[in-house]
């Protein structure tokens, strides 16, 4: 037995050497681009517009047309962590943007970490963020571990996006801190502001955009979508009609920062920062495999407000098309197309703006109050406190001990489930003991892949098509369900020796990291996706 083990490890060692030799053809740079909230159908709907990066990727890349998230909670943190690790939420643990921390009895953000104070590139930051809640290593983590001298650079407007791609470390991990109104990183990634990032931000203050207008980037009659869509909820002082003035109430303030993020200016800014960091970190220009991750957030901000059939999202994408071409040109010039591989995808899609009676908003507050009333009838009214910890989108978390009481009282449990099913828009009510990752029922399976016992609800709620969970005062539309408009996203590989091809094989964004890992010749021990190409580029 012992001899066999020794023999096995010797064989594995030889195999590793063989792979190591093979990996000499590894790319010098892996680029992961995420377009927050980009649905797969946008590539076709707006096809006539593409003259830049999207055209290049569609013409010269390997385009997977049937890429879908296989899980229920299609959210930013879940999507980026899935792309970053190749694992699914039940394994990587990033089950939502926020979840109920049962020890602290409070809602926490998916990257919240008080032990990793934020470091601001501008006004003081007060939060703390890190990849500590991410339970498995990312591809970027494995590159840092397995590739000598590999550098990791990621950026987004959102901490959960930059961190989901980077993971547990990195040379420059940059996001926008809404509270501070400035770009930031945290102690988890750097002891002090990263000089190259600070140099770019100091030289290009985003605040100088205060007062500029977001105008259409092409003649109005070239747009497919109407300007005044029905059901739009524009942010702040904006109307549903162009132009949109990006200005604060009183100079550079929170309103300005919000409007700036919800405009194509923020995507262009991140692209400029990326070019600058490619140069200063010499990404892809040394004898190793570096990682560059960029998550463009503007589409998500705009999509929530104006919906998927708006001129606003059309123009964000047209301007992103231009920014992506600049990025590709810069990569081609500095790294060489043969020396990098690039993957583009999205963290989730988005629902059409709900229109009664065919669809609508399921308010978190309504769910909470509905169940509170039923439990008060069943178990008696509470003098203080609540039977419910939180009703947080698809997750209903009961106060400590309440779920156990319900399990011991089938009539009360049935009453709660019945009351939840009576809420318009809720199609399925699943107790956590009903979830199974191997179920042949696609709804149960999708909910199970989104479930982590320490972080998810006692009960999972699944909305009907065209219904979504949202706070009462929520935005125009949102995502976060298992319906196709939320799950179906673009997935394109490009660069290296990748040849232009269309592929309709069903795949998932969890396949991105394993595919890139194979190119780079690194191992991903916790990945659940699979490498989509058999040969190295
Ligand atoms: Zn979103």
> Each residue of 406-418: pLDDT tens digit?
999 999 999 999 9
Ligand 1 centroid, distance to 70 Cα (angstroms): 18
**Mean per-residue pLDDT of the chain:** 94
Q: How far is the centre of ligand 1, averaged over its atoms, from the C-alpha of 487 (Å)?
A: 13
How many whole angstroms from 461 Cα to the centroid of ligand 1?
A: 19
Closest CA relative to residue 32, chosen from 80, 102, 67: 80
358-371 average pLDDT score: 96
Count of CB atoms situated within 10 Å of the CB of 109? 17
Counting other chains too, the contacts that 39-43 makes at CB distance below 8 Å and 24 or more residues apart are: 39/308, 39/346, 39/349, 39/350, 39/485, 39/488, 39/489, 40/65, 40/67, 40/349, 40/488, 40/489, 40/490, 41/488, 42/308, 42/313, 42/317, 42/490, 43/490
Q: Give the end-to-end CA distance of the chain in Å, rounded to a whole number.
A: 39
Task: Between 29 and 19, name the one with better pLDDT.
Answer: 29
Name the β-bridge partners of 33: 294, 344
Q: State in Å: Cα 213 to ligand 1 middle.
A: 24
Cα 87 to ligand 1 centroid, rounded to whole Å: 21
Q: How far is the CA of 301 from the centre of ligand 1 (A)?
A: 7
In this predicted structure, which of 8-12, 132-136, 219-223, 361-365 has the lowest mean pLDDT?
Answer: 8-12
Measured in Å, residue 504 CA sits from the centre of ligand 1 at 26
Q: What is the pLDDT, as a whole number, of residue 460?
A: 98
- Print burial letters for 461-475: b (CB count within 10 Å at least 16), e (below 16): bbbbebbbbbeeeeb
The average pLDDT across 431-441 equals 97
Is 5 a residue whose pLDDT tops 60?
A: no
Query: How far, in Å, from the CA of 266 to the mean position of ligand 1?
Result: 16
User: Quick check: 32 pLDDT over 80?
Assistant: yes
Please identify which residue in the block is written with the tokens 């509170």: 372
Length in residues, the chain = 537
Query: Pairing state of beta strands 112-120 and 128-129?
Result: antiparallel
Q: How far apart are CA 306 and CA 80, in angstroms?
A: 23
What pLDDT was estimated at residue 25?
Answer: 85
Of the pLDDT bands very low, low, confident and very high (cuts 50, 70, 90), residue 367 is very high
State the distance from the centre of ligand 1 to the C-alpha of 37, rounded, in angstroms.
Answer: 6
Distance 145 CA to ligand 1 centre (A): 32
The whole-angstrom distance between residue 29's C-alpha and the CA centroid of its chain comes to 21
Query: What's the rounded mean pLDDT across residues 247-267?
Result: 97
Predicted pLDDT at 474? 87
CA of 75 to the centre of ligand 1 (A): 7
Q: How far is the CA of 505 from the centre of ligand 1 (A)?
A: 27
Is residue 16 very low, low, confident or very high in pLDDT (cuts 50, 70, 90)?
very low
Ligand 1 mean position, distance from CA 300 (Å): 5
CA 15 – ligand 1 centroid, Å: 43
CA of 22 to the centre of ligand 1 (A): 40
Are 432 and 459 within 8 A, CB to CB?
yes
Span 279-301, average pLDDT: 98
Give me ligand 1 centre to Cα 405, in Å: 36
Report the pLDDT averaged over residues 421-438: 97
Taking the whole predicted model, whether its pTM rises above 0.85 is answered as yes
Give the span between the Cα atoms of 177 and 536, in whole angstroms.
39
Distance 303 CA to ligand 1 centre (A): 8
Let me know: does 293 contact 155? Beta carbons within 8 Å: yes
Ligand 1 centroid–CA 218 distance in Å is 26
Q: What is the mean pLDDT of residues 472-498?
A: 96
Query: From ligand 1's centre to the CA of 101, what distance in Å?
Result: 22
Q: How far, in Å, is the centroid of ligand 1 from the Cα of 475?
A: 10
- What's the 468 CA to ligand 1 centre distance in angstroms? 12
- pLDDT tens by residue, 55-96: 999 999 999 999 999 999 999 999 999 999 999 999 999 999
- Higher-confidence residue of 10 and 213: namely 213
pLDDT of 475: 83
- How far, in Å, from the CA of 158 to the mean position of ligand 1? 11
- Distance between Cα 298 and ligand 1 center (Å): 10
- What tens digit of pLDDT does each residue of 185-239 get? 999 999 999 999 999 999 999 999 999 999 999 999 999 999 999 999 999 999 9
Q: Say if residue 10's pLDDT is above 50.
A: no
Does residue 537 surpass a pLDDT of 70? no
Q: What is the pLDDT of residue 76?
A: 98
* pLDDT tens by residue, 135-174: 999 999 999 999 999 999 999 999 999 999 999 999 999 9
Those residues whose beta carbon sits under 5 angstroms from the ion ligand 1 are: 300
Range with the poorest average pLDDT among 351-355, 418-422, 471-475: 471-475
Separation of CA 36 and ligand 1 centre (Å): 7
User: CA 133 → CA 77, 167, 175, 394, 476, distances in Å?
Assistant: 11, 10, 17, 20, 30
Compute, in angstroms, the gap from residue 262 CA to the centroid of ligand 1: 12
**294 contact partners, CB below 8 Å, separation of at least 6:** 31, 32, 33, 34, 154, 155, 156, 270, 271, 274, 327
pLDDT band at 534 (very low <50, low <70, confident <90, very high): low
């Amino acid at each position: 037995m012992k001899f066999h083990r020794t023999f096995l490890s010797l064989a594995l060692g030889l195999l590793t050497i063989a792979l190591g030799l093979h990996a000499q053809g590894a790319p010098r740079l892996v680029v992961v681009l995420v377009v927050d909230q980009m649905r797969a159908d946008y590539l076709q709907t707006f096809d006539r517009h593409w003259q830049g990066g999207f055209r290049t990727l569609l013409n010269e890349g390997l385009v997977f047309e049937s890429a879908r998230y296989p899980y229920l909670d299609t959210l930013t943190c879940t999507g980026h962590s899935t792309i970053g690790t190749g694992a699914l939420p039940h394994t990587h643990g990033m089950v939502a943007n926020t979840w109920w921390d049962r020890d602290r009895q409070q809602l926490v953000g998916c990257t919240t970490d008080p032990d990793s104070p934020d470091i601001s590139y501008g006004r003081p930051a007060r939060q703390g963020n890190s990849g500590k809640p991410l339970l498995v290593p990312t591809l970027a983590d494995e590159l840092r571990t397995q590739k000598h001298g590999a550098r990791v650079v990621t950026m987004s407007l959102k901490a959960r996006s930059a961190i989901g791609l980077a993971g547990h470390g990195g040379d420059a991990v940059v996001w926008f801190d809404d509270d501070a109104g400035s770009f930031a990183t945290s102690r988890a990634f750097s002891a002090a502001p990263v000089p190259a990032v600070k140099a770019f931000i100091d030289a290009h203050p985003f605040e100088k955009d205060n007062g500029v207008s977001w105008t259409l980037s092409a003649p109005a009659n070239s747009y497919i979508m109407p300007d005044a869509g029905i059901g739009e909820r524009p942010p702040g002082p904006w109307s549903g009609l162009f132009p949109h003035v990006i200005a604060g109430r009183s100079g550079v303030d929170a309103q300005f920062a919000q409007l700036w993020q919800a405009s194509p200016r923020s995507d262009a800014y991140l692209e400029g920062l990326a070019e600058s960091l490619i140069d200063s970190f010499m990404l892809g220009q040394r004898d190793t495999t570096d990682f560059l991750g960029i998550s463009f957030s503007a589409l998500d901000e705009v999509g929530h407000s104006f919906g998927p059939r708006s001129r606003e999202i059309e123009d964000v994408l047209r301007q992103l098309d231009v920014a992506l071409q600049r990025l590709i040109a810069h990569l081609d010039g500095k790294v060489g197309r043969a020396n990098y591989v690039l993957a583009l995808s999205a963290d989730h899609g988005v629902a059409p703006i709900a229109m009664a009676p065919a669809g609508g908003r399921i308010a978190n507050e309504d769910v909470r109050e509905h169940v509170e009333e039923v439990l008060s009838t069943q178990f008696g009214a509470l003098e203080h406190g609540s039977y419910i910890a939180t009703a947080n989108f698809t997750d209903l978390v009961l106060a400590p001990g309440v779920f156990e009481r319900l399990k011991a009282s089938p009539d009360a449990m049935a009453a709660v489930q019945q009351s939840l099913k009576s809420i318009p828009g809720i199609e399925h009510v699943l107790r956590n003991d009903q979830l199974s990752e191997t179920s042949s029922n696609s709804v149960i399976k999708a909910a199970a892949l989104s479930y982590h016992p320490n972080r998810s609800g006692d009960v999972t709620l699944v909305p009907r098509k065209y219904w979504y969970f949202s706070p009462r005062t929520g935005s125009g539309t949102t995502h976060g369900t298992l319906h196709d408009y939320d799950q179906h996203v673009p997935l394109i590989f490009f660069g290296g020796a990748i040849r232009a091809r269309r592929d309709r094989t069903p795949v998932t964004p969890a396949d991105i990291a394993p595919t890139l890992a194979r190119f780079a010749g690194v191992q991903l021990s916790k990945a659940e996706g699979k490498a989509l190409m058999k040969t190295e580029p």
